[in-house]
Amino acid sequence: MVIFKGKKKGIIHTRDITLDDIRVVFFPRTFNEKYGYLGSVPWNEDGAIFKAMEPLVIFMDYKAKPKWCPRWFLRFLHLFGNDNSIVRVRNRTLSNLKCRLTKGIQLTDYKTKWEWYDLRISICGTDQMYDLSDAIEHKFYNDGLREDLADQIKELDPNTKYDKGYTIDSLKNELDKLETKNDK
């Protein structure tokens, strides 16, 4: 049920605001709905990326939300000021107010680049947030690479003692030994 009709002016389109959008502002059900005002928040609560990024999102919320401002008001500003988007602006005044209240802190993007474990996080925030996002990226990459190497070793030698608990260098050395052994 559409409450506010979107506008179309030239190539600029704003979205329709539905009753469900209003429900999300006042009664969020999921993590994504609760912290969505920060930008591109992970939505799949069962995934490995969500588990890695959850501390960052909570820390960003802690730093972005003023103590006196309820979170529903920031979600309201995000909906009516930015159309629940990180790029669109529906109402410049409300968008600027949200940006001022949150000190410009937002999670711009997150994605995996070359492999499933090569996580890239783009944020606007403080140095602490950048350090935390770098640490998350580094740990996610190392853990994923170790798991990937251990799986490759188990494919070549099912009876191996190597698993993802070993260091990356020892796993690479063992994988190289097994590959050269199989090539002969």
Query: Residue range 15-40: average pLDDT?
Result: 91
* Residue count (the chain): 184
Q: Give me the number of domains the chain comprises.
A: 1
pLDDT tens figures, 121-132: 999 999 999 999
Domain housing 124? 2-183
Name the pTM for this structure.
0.84
**For the chain, give me the number of helices (H) and strands (E)?**
7, 6
DSSP state, residue 110? E
- The β-bridge relationship of strands 119-124 and 106-112 is antiparallel
Over pLDDT 70: what percentage of the chain?
98
